Amino acid sequence: MNQLDQLRRFTTVVADTGNFRQLAQFEPQDATTNPSLILKAVQQADYAPLLTDTVADMPGADLDAIVDHVLVRFGQAILKVVPGRVSTEVDARLSFDAEATIARARRIMALYESAGVSRERVLIKIASTWEGIQAARELERDGIRCNLTLLFSFCQAVACGDAKVKLISPFVGRIYDWYKKSAGATWDESAMSGLNDPGVRSVTQIYHYYKKHGVRTEVMGASFRNTGQIVALAGCDLLTISPELLAQLQTSNAPVVRQLDFDCAQAADIPRVRFGEAAFRWALNEDAMATEKLAEGIRAFASDAAKLDAMIESLRA
């Protein structure tokens, strides 16, 4: 049995891509997208018509309305391949505006529903800022399920759980990147791999906390740099994996052992905590890695959203 099939015994496998033509070979349950993946996809010949046709169908429409239609068309195409859910992201430039995030999320969901897609099959991705988490709290009350992304710290995870969001996406690889860069020449790759990987440790802590304290939010590890990080989180609720790493798992028969489970979480010594707004902002401020990676991630997604805007404007010229 290859590693991908072994992993499925413990964890729901999700594909992290906008390239829906690649999905079938890996048989993922769900799929996730982000602005960078969508931008990459629409620059390929196979997917460019999704953009050009949408622009042609919406003469005179607002730019952000066209973008949302493009995102939903990608989501619809993905849902024809996967049996589960697709995650569609709200514009990262709204990360510090709860009301605008709520409005945009509702419009995206309305587009899906008007296309005959039930809301149970869609997760709205929102950055894990304080404002994003509060937006998700309200959306969840309305039955719009959310995937809180760009999550790097324990305080973000706790606040998401308290907001009763459906799912969080802690970023394993970007945490690893920060600590490796920070250590410089002193970094010991062998000593900091597997269960000792800082990104793996972060997700493990969050998983244990949620399971021990009955938090129903799903944990989906994301942003992997290698298959070692993935197999070290076997047993996590979900793992979203790039096609390149899915292919590597599919071609390896090395053993995969469950690392995360409910019983281990119950034995963990991890107290229940709460974060109001002031405590949340202070805890995030005190975590240099999380502060830097959250800001960096928002800037990168916002930059790619702006590039997509520019492509649309060029098509309308």
Out of 80, 125, 180, 212, pick the active-site residue: 125
* 131/161 Cα distance (integer angstroms): 15
Asked if 232 and 197 count as a contact pair (C-beta separation under 8 A), the reply is yes
Task: Give Cβ neighbours of residue 29 (< 8 Å, ≥ 6 apart).
Answer: 12, 13, 14, 82, 83, 84, 238
Q: What angle do CA 49, 50, 54 make, to 5 degrees?
A: 105
Asked if 256 and 234 count as a contact pair (C-beta separation under 8 A), the reply is yes
- 125: annotated active-site residue: yes
Q: Tell me if residue 170 falls in helix, strand or coil.
A: strand
* 314/174 Cα distance (integer angstroms): 33
Start-to-end CA distance of the chain, whole Å, equals 53
Which tokens go with 11?
Answer: 């964890």
Longest dimension (CA), the chain: 61
Q: Tell me if residue 54 falls in helix, strand or coil.
A: helix
Asked if 168 and 160 count as a contact pair (C-beta separation under 8 A), the reply is yes
Mind telling me the catalytic residues? 125
